[in-house]
Amino acid sequence: MRVLVINSGSSSIKYRMFNAEDFTVLAAGLLERVGEADSRLTHHWLSASGEYGETVYDRQIQNHREGLMLVDAALAESGSLGSLSELFGVGHRVVHGGEVFHKPTLIDKTVIEAIRKLIPLAPLHNPANLAGIEASMEHLPNVPQVAIFDTSFHQTMPQHSFLYALPYELYTEHHVRRYGFHGTSHQYVSKKAAEHLGKPLEGLNIITLHLGNGASAAALKGGRSMDTSMGMTPLEGLMMGTRCGDLDPAIHFYLWRSSGISNEGLESLLNHQSGLRGICGVNDMREIQHMADQGNPRALLAMDMFCYRVKKYIGAYYAVMGRVDAIVFTGGIGENAPRIRKGACKGLDPLGILLDDEKNESRSKDVFEIQRTEGSVRLLVVPTNEELEIAQQTVKKILPSTAEKS
Ligand code: ADP
């Protein structure tokens, strides 16, 4: 039994195929530049010897449907994985589920139309995700397919947490509210943390910090999202690689009045030219650390600002939950940058958040703890795995529905 996870972008298809029983990765790949003359598929597969092989296919791929046909051909060429039509199921990552989708959902025509209706909330992402879904439904009409939404995990937030202090009608008539993103990652790492701590998730209060190029924090009570830093869009909250995070909305009007910048110009400024890049010119944290080591003051400032924001959210979510059992660091930065973890926890001793400098320097592919023994809050580094979470949720969703049919 095999399950395929598809993360479809506007000009790319990322996929990972798992054994649906033990969730071993059987194959994975990335098709880039769909619709251009120089499309490229880089395909990896698990060989009989237990090693992963790699094949690169350079050929023009016009659209997502042709892309899936190439993935199918690549799978057929790489050993005994069979064809995509023999799959147990397909899980699709979908960025925005609005208030419509609270959980993994079996895809049919109605679901596709509902995702399409949500395009105004995620004009860049949902159409790209839909392109992958529609191609896959057409190519594999007999395989059950499930949509897993980035937003659905946060649908448990209470109104006082997800509403903006705007006229209430903007919520009821225009769906203006906080939705939150990275839900699959927050959910996955919180489950892993509970497993590691040997305690039921239902009894734990956890702050999860997904710190990657995009970054978000979440306050999870008993495994349910109470609050999260990203908002109606993924622009709000923490400082990110190129996104500004929290901002006084009046800056928008000020810039428009003083420089005549257009809406499109502002959208690009806040999404692509801000965050770490806005402060020091670079958005990659590894490079920024290197620049800081060379004494670059802007790189140091960017790191300080990044840590300061994370710390502010830890404080806020501590207050929201009243008691915190664990703080989880994940994402490229959260998993690999001890300096950032240290900066984020600095000065939080009165809250029982005590980082152990030596443990903080450890590296592992598994969960590890970085708090001092006298700290009351467990500090964990948990590698995220959104594809695995999607695969597991897909199997869980399909199993009862196939049992019902038989
Ligand atoms: P996304 O999935 O949002 O694109 P990732 O979760 O892959 O991003 O995280 C990317 C970020 O992680 C980059 O800023 C990168 O520099 C940072 N990162 C990865 N490895 C390290 C490392 N060893 N030290 C510091 N930062 C790292």
How much distance in Å is there from the Cα of 207 to the middle of ligand 1? 20
Is 97 a pocket residue for ligand 1 (Cβ < 6 Å)?
Answer: no
pTM for the full model?
0.94
Q: How far apart are CA 341 and CA 186, in angstroms?
A: 17
Q: How far apart are CA 391 and CA 386, in angstroms?
A: 9
Ligand 1, residue 331: give the atom nearest the CA.
6
How much distance in Å is there from the Cα of 276 to the middle of ligand 1? 12
How much distance in Å is there from the Cα of 307 to the middle of ligand 1? 15
| Band of pLDDT at residue 97, cut at 50, 70 and 90 | very high
Q: How far apart are CA 189 and CA 381, in angstroms?
A: 9
Is 214 a pocket residue for ligand 1 (Cβ < 6 Å)?
Answer: yes
Q: How far apart are CA 142 and CA 129, in angstroms?
A: 20
Q: What percent of the chain has pLDDT over 90?
A: 90
Q: Which domains does the chain have, with CATH numbers?
A: 2-149 (3.30.420.40), 200-386 (3.30.420.40)
| The token pair that represents 234 in the structure block | 């993924």
The H-assigned helical ranges of 34-95 are 64-77
User: What integer pLDDT is reported at residue 247 of this predicted model?
Assistant: 97
State how far Cα 343 lies from the chain centre: 23
Asked whether the predicted pLDDT for residue 207 surpasses 50, the reply is: yes
User: What integer pLDDT is reported at residue 93 of this predicted model?
Assistant: 97
Is 237 a pocket residue for ligand 1 (Cβ < 6 Å)?
Answer: no
| The token pair that represents 313 in the structure block | 């959210």
Asked whether the predicted pLDDT for residue 118 surpasses 50, the reply is: yes
User: What integer pLDDT is reported at residue 47 of this predicted model?
Assistant: 86
Is 336 a pocket residue for ligand 1 (Cβ < 6 Å)?
Answer: yes
Q: How far apart are CA 205 and CA 224, in angstroms?
A: 9
User: What integer pLDDT is reported at residue 225 of this predicted model?
Assistant: 98
Q: How far apart are CA 154 and CA 354, in angstroms?
A: 28
To test the pocket of ligand 1, the residue of 333, 339, 361 to mutate (highest count of ligand atoms within 8 Å of its CB) is: 333
Residue in 38, 150, 227, 248 annotated catalytic: 150
Is 303 a pocket residue for ligand 1 (Cβ < 6 Å)?
Answer: no
| The token pair that represents 270 in the structure block | 């806040």
User: What integer pLDDT is reported at residue 81 of this predicted model?
Assistant: 66
Q: Write phi, then psi, for 6 (nearest 5 degrees).
A: -120, 130
Is 241 a pocket residue for ligand 1 (Cβ < 6 Å)?
Answer: yes
pLDDT for 333-378, tens place per residue? 999 999 999 999 999 999 999 999 999 999 999 999 999 999 999 9
Asked whether the predicted pLDDT for residue 406 surpasses 80, the reply is: no
Which region holds residue 133: left if phi is over 0, alpha if psi is between -120 and 50, else beta? alpha
User: What integer pLDDT is reported at residue 80 of this predicted model?
Assistant: 61
User: What integer pLDDT is reported at residue 86 of this predicted model?
Assistant: 80
Residues 234-248 have a mean pLDDT of: 97
User: What integer pLDDT is reported at residue 83 of this predicted model?
Assistant: 74
Q: How far apart are CA 48 and CA 26, in angstroms?
A: 10
pLDDT for 59-77, tens place per residue? 999 999 999 999 988 988 8
User: Among this protein's residues, is 150 annotated catalytic?
Assistant: yes
How much distance in Å is there from the Cα of 212 to the middle of ligand 1? 5
CB atoms within 10 A of CB 342: 15
Q: What is the DSSP letter of 296?
A: -
Residues 24-42 have a mean pLDDT of: 94
To test the pocket of ligand 1, the residue of 12, 14, 286 to mutate (highest count of ligand atoms within 8 Å of its CB) is: 286
User: What integer pLDDT is reported at residue 401 of this predicted model?
Assistant: 62
* Number of residues written out for the chain: 406
Tell me if residue 110 falls in helix, strand or coil.
helix
Q: Cα angle at 310 between 346 and 326, to 5 degrees?
A: 75
Taking Cα atoms as reference points, which of 326, 323, 314, 322 lies closest to residue 378?
Answer: 326
Is 290 a pocket residue for ligand 1 (Cβ < 6 Å)?
Answer: no
Which region holds residue 169: left if phi is over 0, alpha if psi is between -120 and 50, else beta? alpha
388 strand-pairing partners: none
Asked whether the predicted pLDDT for residue 403 surpasses 70, the reply is: no
Token match 């499109």: residue? 264
Residues 302-324 have a mean pLDDT of: 98
Asked whether the predicted pLDDT for residue 236 surpasses 70, the reply is: yes
State which amino acid sits at residue 345: C
State which amino acid sits at residue 74: A
How much distance in Å is there from the Cα of 172 to the middle of ligand 1? 38
Taking Cα atoms as reference points, which of 243, 183, 246, 247 lies closest to residue 210?
Answer: 183
User: What integer pLDDT is reported at residue 75 of this predicted model?
Assistant: 86
Q: Write phi, then psi, for 373 (nearest 5 degrees).
A: -60, -30
Q: How far apart are CA 3 and CA 25, in angstroms?
A: 10
Q: How far apart are CA 206 and CA 185, in angstroms?
A: 13
User: What integer pLDDT is reported at residue 294 of this predicted model?
Assistant: 98
Mean pLDDT of the chain: 95
